[in-house]
A and B are shown apart, each in its own frame.
Chain A
Amino acid sequence: DVKVTQSSRYLVKRTGEKVFLECVQDMDHENMFWYRQDPGLGLRLIYFSYDVKMKEKGDIPEGYSVSREKKERFSLILESASTNQTSMYLCASSLGQGAEKLFFGSGTQLSVL
């Protein structure tokens, strides 16, 4: 069974902290994505990567960075967490063309206090 695993289900951090969200996929997918999910706003793309060490900004990259050192792992970094980054973060991967047929992780609910 295909798997996208996010390291934490719930996370509570303080304003100004550096936060790392980890995502691992075991499907040998080329493409990986980070989305944030907020009520009434759907899913919004933060960053994506189409190959190791390659990364591209999505629609809302401000305040975030990413790292992809290995094909199976894609990390989202909040350099200095702020309260408006409190959200559900979803990692996803896809095998083929672009963002078609996304496989999502279970999500990390991040609260920044």
Chain B
Amino acid sequence: GENVEQHPSTLSVQEGDSAVIKCTYSDSASNYFPWYKQELGKRPQLIIDIRSNVGEKKDQRIAVTLNKTAKHFSLHITETQPEDSAVYFCAASYTGGFKTIFGAGTRLFVKA
């Protein structure tokens, strides 16, 4: 069945460095790719999303890139801060679809 692979499972960076999380999806019909951030003990929250007609999207310190041919998409966080420490989930679905496939998550630690 469809799946989304996410790497790495754990990532530790120094404050101020960049962090990159990568995902690969299997269903070529997927055209909507959201990223959710879940801080410890809190609910997942949407931080950015991208559609397949766009190759890159930025929002302040976060950006997402998409390579449709390779079925890869990535989250980039620049100038990391301790409050970026959380679990990040990538996901894939298609417009109007109800079944979102989530990656297993990446636990990001930002060391002060």
Contact indicator A98/B49 (Cβ below 8 Å): no
CB within 8 Å of A: which residues of B? 1, 4, 6, 9, 32, 34, 36, 42-46, 49, 89, 93-100, 102-105
Contact indicator B93/A41 (Cβ below 8 Å): no
> Which listed segment binds B: A13-21, A43-51, A68-76, A78-86?
A43-51
Contact indicator A98/B98 (Cβ below 8 Å): yes
Q: How far is the CA of A108 from the CA of B42 in the complex (A)?
A: 11
Interface residue SS majority, chain B: loop
Contact indicator B43/A107 (Cβ below 8 Å): yes
Which of chain A's residues 57-113 have a Cβ closer than 8 Å to chain B? 58-59, 90, 97-107
Ranked nearest first, the 4 interchain pairs of A and B with the lowest CB-CB distance are A42-B102, A104-B43, A43-B102, A99-B100
A31 on the B face (CB < 8 A):
yes
CB within 8 Å of B: which residues of A? 4, 31, 33, 40-45, 48, 50, 56, 58-59, 90, 97-107
Contacts of A56 in B (CB 8 A): 98
Q: How far is the CA of A36 from the CA of B9 in the complex (A)?
A: 19
Q: How far is the CB of A49 from chain B (nearest CB, A)?
A: 9
Contact indicator B104/A99 (Cβ below 8 Å): no
Q: How far is the CA of A93 from the CA of B101 in the complex (A)?
A: 16
Q: How far is the CA of A4 from the CA of B102 in the complex (A)?
A: 20
Contacts of B97 in A (CB 8 A): 98-99
**A-B contact list, 12 entries, CB within 8 Å:** A33-B98, A42-B102, A42-B105, A43-B44, A44-B102, A45-B98, A45-B99, A56-B98, A97-B95, A97-B96, A99-B100, A101-B49
Contact indicator B95/A102 (Cβ below 8 Å): no
Contacts of B49 in A (CB 8 A): 100-101
